[in-house]
Amino acid sequence: MTEKRIYKPKSIAGFPEWLPEERLVEQKWFDHIRRVFESYGFCNIETPSVEELDVLTAKGEVDKEIYVIERLHKDPDEKKEARLALHFDQTVPMARYVAMNFNELVFPFKRYQMQRVWRGERPQMGRMREFYQCDIDIINVDNLPISFDAEVASVMYEVLEGLNIGKIQLRISNRKIISGFIEDWGLPNGTEILRILDKLEKVGEGQTFSDLEKAASYTGAGGAFTPARILLDLAKIKAPTSEEFKKQFSNLHTIPNTPKLQDGINELCSVLDNLSHLPQGAVVADLSIVRGLDYYTGTVYETQLLDVPEFTGSVCSGGRYDDLAGSYINKHLPGVGISIGFSRLFDVMRQTRPDLLGIGPKSPAHVMMVVPENETDRPIAAEAARTLRKNGNNVEMYHAAKKFGDQLKYASKKNIPFVWIVRDGKHEVKDMTAQTQSAADPKTWKFKA
Amino acid sequence: MTEKRIYKPKSIAGFPEWLPEERLVEQKWFDHIRRVFESYGFCNIETPSVEELDVLTAKGEVDKEIYVIERLHKDPDEKKEARLALHFDQTVPMARYVAMNFNELVFPFKRYQMQRVWRGERPQMGRMREFYQCDIDIINVDNLPISFDAEVASVMYEVLEGLNIGKIQLRISNRKIISGFIEDWGLPNGTEILRILDKLEKVGEGQTFSDLEKAASYTGAGGAFTPARILLDLAKIKAPTSEEFKKQFSNLHTIPNTPKLQDGINELCSVLDNLSHLPQGAVVADLSIVRGLDYYTGTVYETQLLDVPEFTGSVCSGGRYDDLAGSYINKHLPGVGISIGFSRLFDVMRQTRPDLLGIGPKSPAHVMMVVPENETDRPIAAEAARTLRKNGNNVEMYHAAKKFGDQLKYASKKNIPFVWIVRDGKHEVKDMTAQTQSAADPKTWKFKA
ipTM: 0.95
Closest to B229 measured CA to CA, from B198, B208, B250, B201: B208
Closest to A421 measured CA to CA, from A361, A372, A354, A378: A372
Q: How far is A261 from chain B (nearest CA, A)?
A: 24
Best interface-test mutation with B: which of A38, A53, A128 has the largest number of B CBs within 10 A? A38
**Are A343 and A322 a contacting pair, CB within 8 Å?**
no
Residue B93 burial class via C-beta count within 10 angstroms: exposed 0-12, middle 13-18, buried 19 and up: buried
Asked if the C-beta of B221 comes within 8 angstroms of chain A's C-beta atoms, the answer is no
The answer on pLDDT for A2 being more than 60 is: no
Average pLDDT over residues B418-431: 95
Asked if the C-beta of B8 comes within 8 angstroms of chain A's C-beta atoms, the answer is yes
The whole model's pTM is what?
Answer: 0.96
Best interface-test mutation with A: which of B2, B8, B415 has the largest number of A CBs within 10 A? B8
Q: Which residues contact A18 (CB under 8 A, 6 or more apart)?
A: A26, A350, B45, B46
Average pLDDT over residues A3-21: 90
DSSP-based three-state secondary structure for A146: coil
| Distance, CA of B386 to CA of B408 (rounded, Å) | 20
Q: How far is A387 from chain B (nearest CA, A)?
A: 11
From residue B144, how far is each of A5, A23, A369, B218, B421 by CA, in Å?
A: 24, 25, 18, 34, 60
Of B43, B86, B118, the CB nearest to A20: B43
Closest to A149 measured CA to CA, from A266, A306, A32: A266
Residue B368's DSSP bridge partners are B396, B419
CA atoms within 13 A on the CB side of B221: 1
Average pLDDT over residues A181-194: 86
Q: Which residues contact A54 (CB under 8 A, 6 or more apart)?
A: A82, A83, B7
The answer on pLDDT for B1 being more than 70 is: no
DSSP-based three-state secondary structure for A391: coil
Instruction: Inspect the interface and report whether the beta carbons of B23 and A44 lie closer than 8 Å.
Output: yes
Q: Which of residues 146-185 of B touch A (CB under 8 A)?
A: 147-148, 151
Of A9, A42, A52, the CB nearest to B55: A9
Tell me what pLDDT residue B2 has.
Answer: 44
Asked if the C-beta of A69 comes within 8 angstroms of chain B's C-beta atoms, the answer is yes
Asked if the C-beta of A45 comes within 8 angstroms of chain B's C-beta atoms, the answer is yes
Tell me what pLDDT residue B223 has.
Answer: 67
Nearest C-alpha in B relative to A138: B399
pLDDT digits (tens, 9 = 90+) for A356-409: 999 999 999 999 999 988 777 888 999 999 999 999 999 999 988 899 999 999
pLDDT range class, residue A255, cuts 50, 70, 90: confident
Asked if the C-beta of A362 comes within 8 angstroms of chain B's C-beta atoms, the answer is yes
- Please report, to the nearest 10 degrees, the dihedral formed by the alpha carbons of residues B325, B326, B328, B330 taken in order: 120
Residues of A in contact with B5 (CB under 8 A): 327
Nearest C-alpha in B relative to A22: B45
Pick from A47-51, B55-59, B96-100: least confident: B55-59
Query: CA Rg, chain A, in Å?
Result: 28
Average pLDDT over residues B51-77: 87
Pick from A239-248, B162-171, B206-215: least confident: B206-215
pLDDT range class, residue B215, cuts 50, 70, 90: confident
Asked if the C-beta of A125 comes within 8 angstroms of chain B's C-beta atoms, the answer is no
Q: Which residues of B357-386 are buried (b: 16+ CB within 10 A; e: fewer)?
A: bebebbbbbbbbbbbbeeeebbebbbebbb
Nearest C-alpha in A relative to B121: A71
Mean pLDDT, all residues of chain B:
92
User: Do strands A238-239 and B426-431 pair parallel, antiparallel, or not at all (unpaired)?
Assistant: unpaired
pLDDT range class, residue B217, cuts 50, 70, 90: confident
Tell me what pLDDT residue B290 has.
Answer: 87
Comparing B253 with A259, the larger pLDDT belongs to: A259
Comparing A187 with A329, the larger pLDDT belongs to: A329
Asked if the C-beta of A356 comes within 8 angstroms of chain B's C-beta atoms, the answer is no
Tell me what pLDDT residue B222 has.
Answer: 65
Instruction: Inspect the interface and report whether the beta carbons of A397 and B41 lie closer than 8 Å.
Output: yes
DSSP-based three-state secondary structure for A170: strand
Nearest C-alpha in A relative to B24: A44
Instruction: Inspect the interface and report whether the beta carbons of A38 and B364 lie closer than 8 Å.
Output: yes
Average pLDDT over residues A153-179: 96
Asked if the C-beta of B71 comes within 8 angstroms of chain A's C-beta atoms, the answer is yes
Pick from B23-27, B150-154, B224-228, B234-238: least confident: B224-228
Q: How far is B448 from chain A (nearest CA, A)?
A: 15
Average pLDDT over residues B352-362: 92
Count other C-beta atoms under 10 Å from residue A76's C-beta. 4
